[in-house]
Structure 1
């Protein structure tokens, strides 16, 4: 469950904006800012690299230079985020890594204009949203603005040599009792039946060969006694 960060002072989202309607953030080339905006708006999924922790996937809404995310009970799980993280953005066309950027983390406090605007956008984009979303988010969840800044760490033509593969995250999810029914059985069950059929077929073939051999020996014995 995501812990509520109470020691962070919320800051206006628009101050360190990375790519606003008026222009890119300081130190960001216009072409890179346009690519960042396109990546953020075309894909609703990004990955948050937390130092000392794993990389966390998160759905977001892009709004005037900030990626807005909500986490907590009933929402996506995210750990407590430090003041600065890295965001990995994917290409909507290929699904591969497109940009890696540094971002400031701003926790938005309920009741502030920034929180009201962010939750309104998140609720509109949230699948299967319910009527009490805003009340629940204010009481139990954390709404965070991730604001990219500076030049990208990785971009087209300048990717790190590593493949960024990580082991799967540990989970308590398991199947302890009933298992869903599969047409024709599960894969391991089908393989076991196939092996059993092959073994039975081989046993029948061997039995036929032994029977033929016995008959052949009997015919030889009969001919010898007739002499």
Structure 2
């Protein structure tokens, strides 16, 4: 079993908040949000929006998410521009496998899960965590009221690498081509210098002058 994000809450319900219509529209139009975890980083997550809560599943075979504290921030994007649209606070409620809330959440998450190759719900119950993220309060950022910080962050560390194998490129890669051009230029300069020295020696021989200048 994955470590539970928070203590169980029986009935996660959304509190009315200004901008609820924009929030519901942003959640419903985009299946991707970012979970900003304090003292950690911002994690992308696919979700399903259901009656005031964003449902996410994480764990083995699913998207990686850290331990979630009781309160997080959700960053929502504009479906049209892909840019930041809303930032809201949300409470994280872990849903207990077998409960009515968990059953409803998995019924909604299962058809939205792409490329499933097994009995996802059984695996979720045994190994994964299903969490309801319930926004509350006024938006921290909204159209016309964005923080000056651009929120750029260093890319997360990953084990992915291409050092063991690199795709073949016709005529070589850019850096390889530059090295080849430099090598050709140096070889050309050496040949030119050698020809100049040979020409000078021939002139001296015709004049009867030795290599030592006598």
TM-score, normalised to structure 1, is 0.80
Deviation, structure 1 residue 63 = 1.4
Deviation, structure 1 residue 201 = 3.2
Pairs aligned (count): 208
Change (3 A) 1:203 1:92: farther
Equivalent position of 1:47 in the other structure? 34
Map 1:69-84 to 2 at 5 A: 69-84=56-71
Change (3 A) 1:198 1:90: farther
CA distance in 2, matches of 1:89, 1:66: 13
Cα pair 1:3 1:79 within 8 Å, conserved? no
> Is 1:182 the equivalent of 2:182?
no
Change (3 A) 1:152 1:181: same
Q: Structure 1, residues 3-58: CA drift from partner, whole Å, max 9, x if none?
A: 42176123323x225xxxxxxx1x31xxx222212221222111111111111111
In structure 1, runs of 5+ residues without a counterpart are: 18-24, 223-227
Deviation, structure 1 residue 145 = 0.8
| Residue from 103, 106, 112 that aligns with 1:116 | 103
Q: Structure 1, residues 71-128: CA drift from partner, whole Å, max 9, x if none?
A: 0011111011011100011122222111100001111111112111211221111110
Deviation, structure 1 residue 199 = 2.5
TM-score, normalised to structure 2, is 0.85
Partner SS, residue 61 of structure 2: coil
Partner SS, residue 128 of structure 1: coil
Partner SS, residue 38 of structure 1: helix
CA distance in 1, matches of 2:57, 2:88: 20
